[in-house]
Each structure stands twice: as C-alpha cells, then as structure tokens.
Amino acid sequence: MKISLIDLTRQHNELSDDINEAVSNIFQKSSFIMGENVKNFEQEFSSYLGIKHSISVGNGTDALVIALKALNIGPGDEVITTPFTFFSTAESIARVGAIPVFVDVELTSYNIDPNKIEEKITEKTKAILPVHIFGNPCDMIKINNIAKKHNLFVIEDACQAVGAKIGDKMIGTLSDIACFSFFPTKNLGCAGDGGMIVTNNDDLATICRAYRVHGSGIDGNRAYNLINHVNEEIVAQDNGNNTIYNPMKYYNYLIGFNSRLDEFQAAILRLKLKKLNFYNEDRIRLAMKYNLELKDTKLILPSVQNDYRHVYHLYILNSDKRSSIINFLKEKGIATGIYYQIPLHLQKAFEYLNYKKGDLPNCEYLSERTFAIPLYYGMTEEEQKYIIDSILEWNKNNE
C-alpha cells in the first residue's frame, strides 16, 4: 500500500462541483482582484475567530512582514521567537531589518519555552513572536503576562494553527496581531498561496490594509496620518469598480507591498471555511487513534496541555531511532517528513547572529529526532490501520 504524507485530492474531490461553480462565477463577473469573495471571506474569517478585523494578503510570510511593519518594528529592534519552526518566521523579522532572538523550546509541546523568554529581553526588545507549532497552542497566558510586564507587543504566528483553541479562545485572538497561512497543505488551504492578518486594533488594521496595496488610497492616507501623528484631510473619490479604475489607488502615502489574496483563492477558502471545524475534528479523531494505538511503543507521542485544542496540522513522533523507522516505513510505502532538520539558529542565512551548536539544546535535540507520519482529512480506516500496524511491527523488531 502506498500512503502519502498529505493527500489533498479527497477533500478537493468532495468540493469540486462547488469550486467549479465558484470559479465560473468569477470569470462571468471578471472581477479578479479585491472583489466580493475577498471581502466576504475576510468578514467570514473574522466571524469564525471572533475578532474585529481580518486583512487578507498574498501568503503567510507577507502577513508576518506586514504585521511587523504595522507595529513599527525595524532596524535595531529585537523580536524574540522560536528556532523550531519554518524559516519564514525569523525571515520576516530579518526582512524588516530587526534581529531575531531565539529562545529554546519545550521538549513536550515543541513550542517556545515561556520560562526562558525574560532572560533574553533587552532594551532593544520590541515584541515576542510565538509560533503555535504543528497546530499546538503556545502558553499564551504566560507569554502575554511577560509582554505586559515589559511593555512588548505579541504577534502570533498561527500559520499552522487555524481552529486551535485555549479554552474557548481561538488562536489568533490572543495577541496584538496574528498571522495565518493558507498554503495548500494547511488545515485551511487554498489552491495556491494566501494569508491573513487579524487584529482587534483599528489602527493596526488600517495600516495593514494600506501596506498590502502599495500604501495607496484612502487606507494609505489614513495610515500615513496614524504613523506620522498628523491629521491631513482624507479625500475619498468613488469612481466605481476598484478593479477597473479608481484614481485613489494612484495616490501613494507609504512604501508598501503588492500582497493581495485573489478572488479564486478567496472563493475556495470560503467553501472550505464552512467545513473547517469538521475537517479539524477529523484530524483530531485520527490523532487520538494514533495516540491510543501507539501509546505502548518506544515512540514519544504529541503532548497537549489540558484545555488546549491541538488541530494537528502535522502529527509528530519523536524517536532516537528516527532513520530506522523512517526507512522501515518507506519500505512499506508509507511517506514521512522531517520538521525541522536544521534549527533556525543554525541556518546559514542567520550565521551573522553568531549562534553555535549547543546554544539551544532542546531545539537541536528535537531536530534530530522528530518526524511526521501521514494524517489528513479523508484518510481511511484501512490506511491508518496499515500505518499503525507497520509502526507496531517496527517497534517489536526494535525491542
């Protein structure tokens, strides 16, 4: 039996008729940029999270960069984050000219260790950027308490954690500003790139909206006033459809970006958002089955705090015999993945930060031991049983 690490076809096959209809409607209207699907998806995403503002952008990396820019974080500033995540988290910090300051992670949750944050705070620290890795929430209570004590911003990298919760609070609503990715493999994924910035802060929302479209238009005018603490007159010019011609878009007030979610992606995401809780519950069900069947093996299973809702973007196992089990599963036709083999503080791109091997031992330990096994919406009982039986066979052979 051949089993992929991630299989998107089953979800898309279920939605194919609705997707085709939505795409056909977009072509008929020929409104491709910043149209009604984008507007409606932003509103629906805000309703889903229970947050005031959702600002769609081109991808999760742009979301992080724009969020940092909106908070006026730049050259000379320091942002505390985790080294055990995808590159774009720290890349975004460096992209605005700030300095990523890495704090080691917990061996259980794989998230940034809040008990190690304060020792890294300096007079240059402006923000804490936790990542809810693999869909497992960080300890936001401790992180927010530290931020409040030191007058720091908190930016949630929720790119892997859409639908996750702490108690009844949705991940993405527990900070000054949060960012999501809609890369196709995410729990809520489009058919290309896409991202979202969310916040309850009116001013931050205005600035983010301006930055995503070249700092232009009414939002650019308003953002300029906010950033420069002035009150210049805002003159609206309504000349109809923005996608055809609106003279305000040629008035530029800030150096921004070209980062917009297109209508096709928004339409697909609207369809999937309606079923997101169902998709996540299926992931949780599969994860609980793995937990039950693999609990007596030598493998270390995912850990979740009480009252946390882990949405299992990836199901991660931990073994000191990683190569052995990966090779065994490969022979069985079962795909696996390693996240993340090289911690961020040891990446060549961050060599200038002068970290060395041994500086963040927990992260380095996990990078040598952790791996993902297949988990996705639509996985059959037969497929999961085959995976479990194969792991149990490996475990028996390695007793």
Quick: pLDDT tens for 172-186.
999 999 999 999 999
So what's the pLDDT on residue 25?
A: 95
**For the chain, domain boundaries:** 9-273, 277-397
- Single out the residue of 132, 212, 227, 143 nearest to residue 178, CA to CA: 132
Res. 241: pLDDT tops 60: no
So what's the pLDDT on residue 36?
A: 96
What band does 246 get if pLDDT is binned at 50, 70 and 90?
A: low
What band does 235 get if pLDDT is binned at 50, 70 and 90?
A: low
Q: Are 67 and 98 in contact (CB under 8 A)?
A: no
What band does 56 get if pLDDT is binned at 50, 70 and 90?
A: very high
Largest CA distance in the chain: 75
Alpha helices in the chain (DSSP H): 9-29, 36-49, 60-70, 88-95, 140-150, 202-212, 217-228, 263-273, 276-294, 322-331, 361-367, 381-397
So what's the pLDDT on residue 31?
A: 87
Res. 267: pLDDT tops 60: yes
What band does 233 get if pLDDT is binned at 50, 70 and 90?
A: confident
| DSSP result, 105-125 | B-TTT-SB-GGGTGGG--TTE
What band does 111 get if pLDDT is binned at 50, 70 and 90?
A: very high
Residue type, 37: N
Res. 191: pLDDT tops 70: yes
Q: Which residues contact 92 (CB under 8 A, 6 or more apart)?
A: 61, 64, 65, 68
Res. 278: pLDDT tops 70: yes
Res. 238: pLDDT tops 80: no
So what's the pLDDT on residue 244?
A: 53
pLDDT above 90 covers a percentage of the chain that reads: 92
* 99: phi then psi, degrees, rounded to nearest 5: -110, 120
Q: Identify the weakest region by mean pLDDT among 32-36, 242-246, 285-289, 377-381.
A: 242-246
- Considering the domain delimited by 9-273, tell me its CATH architecture: 3-Layer(aba) Sandwich (3.40)
Quick: pLDDT tens for 60-71.
999 999 999 999
CATH fold of the domain at 277-397: Aspartate Aminotransferase, domain 1 (3.90.1150)
Quick: pLDDT tens for 363-394.
999 999 999 999 999 999 999 999 999 999 99
Res. 239: pLDDT tops 60: no
So what's the pLDDT on residue 249?
A: 74
Q: Is 269 helix (H, G, I), strand (E, B) or coil?
A: helix
- The mean pLDDT of the chain is 95
So what's the pLDDT on residue 231?
A: 87
So what's the pLDDT on residue 399?
A: 78
Res. 96: pLDDT tops 70: yes
Q: Which residues contact 389 (CB under 8 A, 6 or more apart)?
A: none
243 versus 191: the higher-pLDDT residue is 191
Res. 125: pLDDT tops 70: yes
What band does 132 get if pLDDT is binned at 50, 70 and 90?
A: very high
